[in-house]
Amino acid sequence: MTSNDLTKIYEKIDGYRGSMVELQTGLTAIPALGPTNEGEGEGKKAAYIKEWMEREIGFDSIEQHDADDDRVPSGKRPNLVAIFKGESSDRRIWIMAHLDIVPPGELSLWDSDPYAVVEKDGKIFGRGVEDNQHGMVTPLFALKAMKELGIKPAYDVGVVLVADEETGSEYGIQHLLEKQDLFGKEDLIIVPDAGAPDGSMIEVAEKSIFWLKIETKGKQCHASTPEQGVNAHRAAAHLITKLDKLYEIYDRRDEVFDPPISTFEPTKKENNVPNINTIPGDDVFYLDMRVLPGISLDDVDAQIRKIADGVEREFGVTVAATSPQKETAAPATPSDAPVVKSLAAAIKSVYGIEARPMGIGGGTVAAFFRRAGAHAVVWSKIEDMAHQPNEYTLIENMAGDAKVFAHLFLSG
Ligand SMILES: [Zn+2]
């Protein structure tokens, strides 16, 4: 890559701001909601962007891999895989974004129509403009610039646009990973679907997620004669405080994560008795646990059981736990993986900052790649407006992120 090439590409991208807003406007006008969000899927949006990609860039190939889903009118959930040939096909640089959006939610909280893009003060507003159209538009305009200038990427670049990211990924990336052999172990995979407002976060790892519903049973009676019953609420309250011990048992730190520890938090509490003068015979609360990779969730489960056994004996109650979610973390992408280094160098060149590999507490689609043995990172420079009313993204960040991708495509 020559710095002259880069300068030319950056200039081109700077001239695309209006076209970026235009593409965002077109995409936002086609709500792509999954059937669990009472939508008809991503078919129309996929057709729109596919036509745009053919017309404005002209990829070497664009394949569509549909997943059957009889809950949507078309019976299909679309997944697009577009390849833009580079100097070498030894490995590929992949950017994956998702076509679907979440519903706008309460409309009165929006200052404008969520499906009609409004531009104001360098921002564009609309449902989906950040999550995940920002991540769709940015690699596409990087490639458009390279195509128009006749500059080839170092390696083949693949743009993958998937369905169903917001509601489980079964008809999206999971379908692709099962049916297609696309992603190699040497490939660089970037998922621009989360990030920090200063662009410094390269997400490489996530914690395991473990939720528990804990039901404590005692014996209901009149509150004036507590000795005739067994107060399940008191026992559960003791159990909650005893569970703080989990923080001591699992005190390992990993500074890649923020916070750098496993967390064990009591969260939701179900109603018990409706009146004050009854001793509750039942109590239900929930735990949300985010556990550092490498710690066995079965082991955590066994520790909780031991603590619960103690409460059963002490208070004469029974404690039963069921798990609404138990998802062991995917292996982390190493902090020194080529994708991390190349991306950090590109970020430094464009934004002048040192980005750093980080772990987060929640799951992302990058985990599917990591489980399949590929090194994937999540990165973009966004304001973190996903799923909120008045969702917006900065036009400046669309241009900047397109430059970061161009740098990455050129350097490999
Ligand atoms: Zn998203």
Clarify whether 165 is annotated catalytic: yes
Ligand 1 centre distance from Cα of residue 236 (Å): 37
Distance 298 CA to ligand 1 centre (A): 30
- For residue 271, whether the previous peptide bond is cis, meaning omega lies within 30 degrees of 0, is no
Q: How far apart are CA 219 and CA 232, in angstroms?
A: 7
> What 3-state class would DSSP assign to 153?
coil
Element (H or E) spanning 298, and its range? helix 297-315
Query: 115 in helix, strand or coil?
Result: coil
Closest CA to 206 of 278, 262, 287: 262
Q: Tell me how long the chain is.
A: 412
Residue 344's alpha-carbon distances to 122, 136, 197, 242, 335, in angstroms, are 26, 20, 16, 43, 11
Which residue among the candidates 69, 100, 164, 193 is catalytic per the annotation? 100
What pTM did the predictor assign? Answer: 0.86
CA atoms within 13 A on the CB side of 157: 28
Tens place of pLDDT for every residue, the chain, 412 residues? 678 999 999 999 999 999 999 999 999 999 999 999 999 999 999 999 999 999 999 999 999 999 999 999 999 999 999 999 999 999 999 999 999 999 999 999 999 999 999 999 999 999 999 999 999 999 999 999 999 999 999 999 999 999 999 988 999 999 999 988 899 989 999 999 999 999 999 999 999 999 999 999 999 999 999 999 999 999 999 999 999 999 999 999 999 998 999 999 999 999 999 999 999 999 999 999 999 998 999 999 999 999 999 999 999 999 999 999 999 999 999 999 999 999 999 999 999 999 999 998 877 889 999 999 899 999 999 999 999 999 999 999 999 999 999 999 999 8
Ligand 1 centroid, distance to 193 Cα (angstroms):
5
Report CA(342)–ligand 1 centroid distance (Å).
23
pLDDT for the residue 365: 86
Report CA(135)–ligand 1 centroid distance (Å).
9
Distance 213 CA to ligand 1 centre (A): 28
Residue 165, pLDDT score:
94
Q: How far is CA 300 from CA 193, 215, 237, 312, in A?
A: 30, 18, 20, 18
CA of 247 to the centre of ligand 1 (A): 31
The token duo for 88 is: 């070498």
What pLDDT, on a 0 to 100 scale, did the predictor assign at position 363? Answer: 74
Euclidean distance between CA atoms 362 and 167, whole angstroms: 15
Distance 201 CA to ligand 1 centre (A): 16
Ligand 1 center to 315 CA (angstroms): 46
Query: Catalytic one among 69, 156, 164, 165?
Result: 165
Give the DSSP letter string of 5-70: HHHHHHHHHHTTHHHHHHHHHHHHTS----GGGT---SHHHHHHHHHHHHHHT--SEEEE--EE-T
Tell me how far apart the alpha carbons of residues 345 and 362 are, in angstroms, rounded to a whole number: 26
What secondary structure letter does DSSP report for 227?
Answer: G
pLDDT of 1 reads 64
